[in-house]
Structure 1
Amino acid sequence: MILGSILNPINSAMLAVALIPIGQAFNAAPSETAWLITGLYVATAVGQPVIGRLVDAYGPRLLYLTGTALVGVAGLIGMLAPELWVLILSRVLLGFGTSAAYPASMFLLRTESERTGVRSPSGILAALSICNQVVSVFGPPLGGLLIGVGGWHWIFGVNVPLSLACLVLGALRLPRASTLRRQGHAPAAEGADITGMVLFAATLTAFMMFLMDPEVGHWYLLVLTAAVGGGFVLRELRTPAPFLDLRVLGGNLPLLATYVRQFLAFITSYAFLFGFTQWLEESRSLSPSAAGLLLLPMSVAAIAVTAATGRHPEVRGKLLAGSLVQIVGCAAMLLLHATSPVWLLVLVGTVLGIPQGLNGLANQNALYAQADPARMGSSAGLLRTFMYLGALAASAANAAFYRDGATTAGLHHLAWLLLAIAVLFLTVTVVDRSLRRVGRPS
């Protein structure tokens, strides 16, 4: 489960150091190579809930093996790509292929919990969260090492042995659908709502395309989102076996609140990560390597707090603590200037690393407790979708405040926005009384 679930973050992180050499190899501008990032984000945000629903319908084994096999194929295509558009296609395939492991893992954890009587596998959930954070930290250095050894092609080629390892382990260890049926945990029998999935994918793709470049001239994307989204809602309300049961989802207010918190948390996380890094390089005049070193304490803090609190299944205390520390960290960004001492820069980053560890883990544990067991795969996929929507909203915020470059004034304007989002995150947490029951003994 861990090996499969890190395929997505490792491919996201390694590309950060490969954009320049790829652009040089294909004589492509940054606006063109940016589609390598966009392609993975869109494919993952669409693919996670869609493949998650297929996991619910057919079990984790088939989808896990198919997805990880697609990762190997995408790696080969990327390694041998003769043109940039082929490389972009490889990233889209990587996005879909890496979307299978996390929903499959959450589905399997739920069925194993019911089989063994272990109410909350908090240790395993914490391990999944920690490994994803570790990979995000060490992905760029790994990408740099691979590029130094064999060129940018190897950040795609490394997916081949990873895919093979997942295929071998998955074939040996993942339960077959017949085994799940004998244990009384048969996958949902109604099959897949293909039409609903297509409408959902079209709605989300149009909306994400607007978020990537939110300009007045792109108003038609919002109209398209509303039109296709309306068709999706009508379809799901009328079909007997919907892709997303909107009546059940609409009645599950605690789960909806978890999705909102995930969205808000990752706006803050990604906006600070990219906005602070750009400011360090442009206004503080640090090199990319020095800026990366200054961000390491933030990542270490996130990993440490996840490891320290991971085995405790209660989530309300983590979310309250995370939201309060998040408010302090966003307010501290207002103290930063081009002449700020290094210790203050490290301190602000470390403080904002704490809520990253607390909030991400708590939202994952909350979803595990709140989601309908029969729809655990699609529910877990939607959690990742809201994460990527937050990342795209953060990208739009950075672009809006850094129109004239990553200035200190732009950083302070960004800080005020993040402070407001952090207060909203705290409000959503405080009013959600259902969190008191998550992780507590019956």
Structure 2
Amino acid sequence: MTIRQGIGRVAGRMRRGRPPDAGGFDRKLVAPMILGSILNPVNSSMLAVALIPIGAAFGAPPSETAWLVTALYLATAVAQPVIGRLVDAYGPRPLYLTGTALVGLAGLMAVFAPGLGLLIASRVLLGIGTSAAYPASMYLLRSEAERTGLRNPSGILAALSVSNQVIAVIGPTLGGLLIGLGGWHLIFTINVPLSAACLVLGGLRLPRRADLRLAPGQRIDVVGIGLFAGTIVAFMLFLMEPGLDHAYLPAVALVTGAGFAWWELRRTQPFIDLRVLRGNAPLLATYARQLLAFTTIYAFLYGFTQWLEESRSLSPSQAGLILLPMSGAAIVATVLVGRRPQVRGKLLVGAVIQVAGCAGLLLLDVSIPVWVPVAIATAVGIPQGLIGLANQNALYAQADPARMGSSAGLLRTFAYLGALLASAANAAFYRHGATTGGLHDLALLLLVVSALLLTVTVADRSLRRVGRDRS
């Protein structure tokens, strides 16, 4: 079965089990949802092969071009829940259209950027623009569930997950092809036609607010959004460059975080309802799993790849080939179990395999046969597919329907926090290069993180109920 057939199959299977008078999920929504949701991963993955030529073009060292990556993650981590809250208030259509329009604008800004500074600014704008589609999609799923009576649209959730994983796999190859055809500018230019396609599909197919079943919010908590953004930015900037010189940043994050909590607890319509969130232990556990899982996933992806290139002396293309089975395993795992709404089994299997994969890193040295790192990479890909999909399904069942957009945005924020924690861990253990000793030390940390993930999963009894009730 091809990947394309798999996506179509898992999307189509959600029609089964619906009430005879429900009418089924509106399939015209699938194309704009999927196209919008891939904008972030395609821009993240294509850039991996463009950092060297961009640095050469502007005479910038890797320490400066790295901000092209971190700027996107930083902007997205902050913007996801903010735009999600706006989706809750105004509906998905205006935010989706505005966000995808910003993607096209960011592409044009990057093409004509005279220096690295404006190119980094375009990545910030791109991060904001690409933050709209995912919370908009989750909102639409909940709205359609209300209309059709289908409580668990697992097929559409799986299709979103598979499409994101597929584009992450082909992104570096696509980026290399575009650079070969017309230089690094083309990886930014492609955002213009992608933006136009989203605008056309979104304008034609997304429902207007009057057509939606979920009641929008009344007010936007601007002060709460500002305090939240200040807390996240200060914390993430410290993670990107930890050290005594930046010790003030955690203090800033602590002060703004305390101010955020004080403000939100006194608002009748807060940006993030901490009282409800505090009482929703299953949703908090889902966020914790997302943070733990993606810390391990990103640390493995970056740390393992650097070790292959530096200690095993593989070229970037050779290292990419070794990682290809990891992405393939993630896609296959998602396709095989995507239509099943139950999440506990996926999370348990994923956590156990993640522990085993991290333990496997301790076996690696420069003389080990190449099939061993290939096998480890393949194994680690399985939890990458299972855990991401399961957490997405769990959030859909656990979040307050009136705050589905902001809740979905926070799920992405915790994933990006995991990416930055992984980056900090790699920097700490590879201070003197991507050595085998550094990889083994990193593996020990990841074993602890993966064991915590397994513990949180086993202890969460609420997972037994997710996906059991289907209308």
The TM tier, using the shorter chain, reads over 0.9
Deviation at 1:199, TM superposition (A): 0.9
Partner of 1:149: 181
Within-5 A mapping of 1:335-350 = 335-350=363-378
Partner of residue 403 from structure 2, selected from 342, 364, 375 = 375
Q: Percent identity?
A: 71
Q: Distance in 1 between matches of 2:79 and 2:59?
A: 30
Q: Distance in 2 between matches of 1:420 and 1:199?
A: 32
Partner of 2:273: 245
Partner of 2:38: 6
- Please say if residues 215 and 402 of structure 2, whose CA atoms lie closer than 8 Å, have aligned partners that are also in contact: no
Deviation at 1:216, TM superposition (A): 2.4
Which amino acid letter does the alignment assign opposite residue 96 of structure 1?
I
Q: Distance in 2 between matches of 1:437 and 1:58?
A: 31
Greater shift, 360-369 or 212-221, is seen at: 212-221
Partner of 2:359: 331
Deviation at 1:441, TM superposition (A): 2.4
- Please say if residues 276 and 411 of structure 1, whose CA atoms lie closer than 8 Å, have aligned partners that are also in contact: yes
> Does residue 1:266 correspond to 2:298, yes or no?
no
Partner of 1:56: 88
> What secondary structure, in the 3-state scheme, does the structure 2 residue paired with 1:335 have?
coil
- Please say if residues 6 and 132 of structure 1, whose CA atoms lie closer than 8 Å, have aligned partners that are also in contact: yes
- Please say if residues 93 and 207 of structure 2, whose CA atoms lie closer than 8 Å, have aligned partners that are also in contact: yes
> Does residue 1:161 correspond to 2:189, yes or no?
no
Q: Distance in 2 between matches of 1:104 and 1:35?
A: 28
Partner of residue 215 from structure 2, selected from 171, 183, 186 = 186
Partner of 2:12: none
TM-score, normalised by the number of residues in structure 1: 0.98
User: Runs of 5+ in structure 2 lacking a partner?
Assistant: 1-32
Which amino acid letter does the alignment assign opposite residue 186 of structure 1?
A
Which amino acid letter does the alignment assign opposite residue 130 of structure 1?
V
Within-5 A mapping of 1:423-434 = 423-434=451-462
Q: Distance in 2 between matches of 1:225 and 1:287?
A: 40
Partner of 2:336: 308
Partner of residue 35 from structure 1, selected from 67, 70, 77 = 67
Within-5 A mapping of 1:34-433 = 34-180=66-212, 184-188=213-217, 190-433=218-461
Q: Distance in 1 between matches of 2:408 and 2:73?
A: 16
Deviation at 1:191, TM superposition (A): 2.0
Q: Distance in 2 between matches of 1:230 and 1:18?
A: 40
Q: Distance in 1 between matches of 2:282 and 2:44?
A: 30
Q: Distance in 1 between matches of 2:63 and 2:431?
A: 15
- Please say if residues 40 and 94 of structure 1, whose CA atoms lie closer than 8 Å, have aligned partners that are also in contact: yes
> What secondary structure, in the 3-state scheme, does the structure 2 residue paired with 1:42 have?
helix
> What secondary structure, in the 3-state scheme, does the structure 1 residue paired with 2:388 have?
helix
Q: Distance in 1 between matches of 2:117 and 2:451?
A: 42
User: Runs of 5+ in structure 1 lacking a partner?
Assistant: none
Deviation at 1:329, TM superposition (A): 0.9
Which amino acid letter does the alignment assign opposite residue 8 of structure 1?
N
Deviation at 1:186, TM superposition (A): 2.8
Partner of 1:19: 51
Which amino acid letter does the alignment assign opposite residue 164 of structure 2?
N
Q: CA RMSD in A?
A: 0.8
Q: Distance in 1 between matches of 2:389 and 2:350?
A: 11
What's the CA shift string for 1:344-401, capped at 9, x where partnerless? 1111101111111110100000000000000000000000000000000000000111
- Please say if residues 151 and 469 of structure 2, whose CA atoms lie closer than 8 Å, have aligned partners that are also in contact: no
Deviation at 1:178, TM superposition (A): 1.5
- Please say if residues 302 and 353 of structure 1, whose CA atoms lie closer than 8 Å, have aligned partners that are also in contact: yes
Q: Distance in 1 between matches of 2:69 and 2:262?
A: 32
Q: Distance in 2 between matches of 1:16 and 1:73?
A: 21
What's the CA shift string for 1:195-243, capped at 9, x where partnerless? 1111111110000000101112211000000111111111101111100
What's the CA shift string for 1:159-217, capped at 9, x where partnerless? 0000000000000111101222xxx42322x2211111111111100000001011122
Q: Distance in 1 between matches of 2:417 and 2:105?
A: 27
Q: Distance in 2 between matches of 1:441 and 1:54?
A: 30
- Please say if residues 214 and 402 of structure 2, whose CA atoms lie closer than 8 Å, have aligned partners that are also in contact: no
Which amino acid letter does the alignment assign opposite residue 66 of structure 2?
A
Q: Distance in 1 between matches of 2:109 and 2:219?
A: 31
Deviation at 1:303, TM superposition (A): 0.5
TM-score, normalised by the number of residues in structure 2: 0.92
Q: Distance in 1 between matches of 2:374 and 2:52?
A: 27
Deviation at 1:426, TM superposition (A): 0.4
Which amino acid letter does the alignment assign opposite residue 187 of structure 1?
P
Which amino acid letter does the alignment assign opposite residue 406 of structure 1?
A
Q: Distance in 1 between matches of 2:393 and 2:275?
A: 23
Q: Distance in 2 between matches of 1:302 and 1:103?
A: 23
What's the CA shift string for 1:241-273, capped at 9, x where partnerless? 100000001110000000000000001100000
Deviation at 1:127, TM superposition (A): 0.6
Q: Distance in 2 between matches of 1:348 and 1:401?
A: 20
Q: Distance in 1 between matches of 2:142 and 2:400?
A: 10
Q: Distance in 1 between matches of 2:222 and 2:93?
A: 20
- Please say if residues 58 and 191 of structure 1, whose CA atoms lie closer than 8 Å, have aligned partners that are also in contact: no
Q: Find runs of 4+ consecutive structure 1 residues off by over 2 angstroms.
A: none
Deviation at 1:332, TM superposition (A): 1.0
Q: Distance in 1 between matches of 2:272 and 2:201?
A: 31
Q: Distance in 1 between matches of 2:315 and 2:211?
A: 55
- Please say if residues 351 and 454 of structure 2, whose CA atoms lie closer than 8 Å, have aligned partners that are also in contact: yes
Q: Distance in 2 between matches of 1:296 and 1:409?
A: 25
